[in-house]
Amino acid sequence: ETGVTQTPRHLVMGMTNKKSLKCEQHLGHNAMYWYKQSAKKPLELMFVYSLEERVENNSVPSRFSPECPNSSHLFLHLHTLQPEDSALYLCASSQEIEVYSGNTIYFGEGSWLTVV
């Protein structure tokens, strides 16, 4: 148990559907992240939030829309996805946005997304 909880763990959606992934961290951290992990590529950073403000959109298509209503919750809204978007989506958090020794990034267990 890392203190970062993601729901749902598995999601199957059609290309015309709208769905959302939810992440909640119970660690009192100020920074939250969305990463994508697919079979063909290493872990990729998608979005970064610090104190509820987005500080990074790593060239992610607009069919992925993040939302951070407060420092404990992070959503990833999904709309008109493509089959190649099927992947494991990982949420993570850290105390501060700067990565350094002692400021570990904690990952959730991920949401497996399949787009059909």
Partner 1 sequence: GESVGLHLPTLSVQEGDNSIINCAYSNSASDYFIWYKQESGKGPQFIIDIRSNMDKRQGQRVTVLLNKTVKHLSLQIAATQPGDSAVYFCAELFGGSNYKLTFGKGTLLTVNP
Task: Name the site residues for partner 1 (rule: CB under 8 A).
Answer: 2, 4, 31, 37-39, 42-45, 48, 55-56, 58, 87-88, 90, 92, 97-101, 104-110, 112
Nearer to partner 1, 58 or 82 (CB): 58
Minimum gap (Å) between residue 20 Cβ and partner 1: 19
| Residues 68 and 62: beta-carbon distance below 8 Å | no
Structure tokens at 72: 């404990």
Minimum gap (Å) between residue 19 Cβ and partner 1: 19
Minimum gap (Å) between residue 56 Cβ and partner 1: 7
Strand duo 10-13 + 111-115: pairing: parallel
CB atoms within 10 A of CB 71: 17
| Residues 83 and 113: beta-carbon distance below 8 Å | no
